[in-house]
Amino acid sequence: MLGATAANTHMLDWCVWQYFATPYFWSGFMGWCIAQIIKMTRGAIRTKSLDFTYLMSTGGMPSAHSSLVVGVFVSLGLGRGWADPITIVASVVATITMFDAATVRRAAGLQARLLNKLTRQLFFERKFSAKPLKEMLGHTRTEVLGGMITGTVVAIGVMHLWTTFQWPNL
């Protein structure tokens, strides 16, 4: 039955734009953006050329995935409280994401590097062609820590601005 009652009206009347009107969204999103910009800047300094592919790349310093999930977690902790169930769920998601980035995805990247080396040797001798696998999949623990720090700083900044300007939905 689709009839709206007073108890469930808010669930049926949800506006998608409200998703973007929270400091929790912006903390995660800005954490990801700033981490990617830091990667692009580091790459430009290292290679002396501006490469916009860094904005969508995986791997590197700092971890954008870590920055995103820690940004959401810290902003939820600051805004809703550290014992709020949503904050606790966010901490679990952040922990799993960072563990995955530093172990599983990193191992996959190391395997890709080895397979690319074997493929180059095989195809160089036999003159076959092959598309190399992406090697920058995961992160070192330092890169994950860099993402954690970036996400934390961004979340604190976003939450400070949100409360200073008294924007809605806190």
> Which range has the worst mean pLDDT, 25-34, 59-68, 82-91, 130-139?
130-139
Kindly report, residue by residue over 73-105, the tens digit of the pLDDT. Answer: 999 999 999 999 999 999 999 999 888 887 776
Q: What is the DSSP letter of 49?
A: S
Contact (CB, 8 A) for 105 and 66? no
What pLDDT is attached to residue 149? 93
CB-based burial label for 75 (10 Å; 0-12, 13-18, 19+): buried
Long-range CB pairs of 92-96 (<8 Å, 24+ gap) are 93/69, 94/66, 94/69, 94/70
Token pair recorded at residue 25: 């969204």
pTM over 0.95: no
pLDDT, the chain, mean: 80
More confident residue, 169 or 97: 97
What pLDDT is attached to residue 130? 59
Flag whether pLDDT at 23 surpasses 80: yes
Kindly report, residue by residue over 110-157, the tens digit of the pLDDT. Answer: 677 777 777 777 766 665 555 655 555 567 788 888 889 999 999 999
Q: What percent of the chain is modeled with pLDDT above 70?
A: 73
- Three-state secondary-structure class, residue 3: coil
Distance of CA 34 to the CA centre of its chain: 10
Distance (Å, rounded) from C-alpha 97 to C-alpha 31? 15
What pLDDT is attached to residue 15? 76
Q: What percent of the chain is modeled with pLDDT above 90?
A: 36
Q: Backbone phi, then psi, for 129, in 5-degree steps? A: -110, 145
What pLDDT is attached to residue 78? 96
Could you tell me which of 68, 75, 65 has the C-alpha nearest to residue 161?
Answer: 75
More confident residue, 21 or 169: 21
What pLDDT is attached to residue 2? 46
Q: What is the DSSP letter of 54?
A: G
CB-based burial label for 139 (10 Å; 0-12, 13-18, 19+): buried
What pLDDT is attached to residue 29? 96
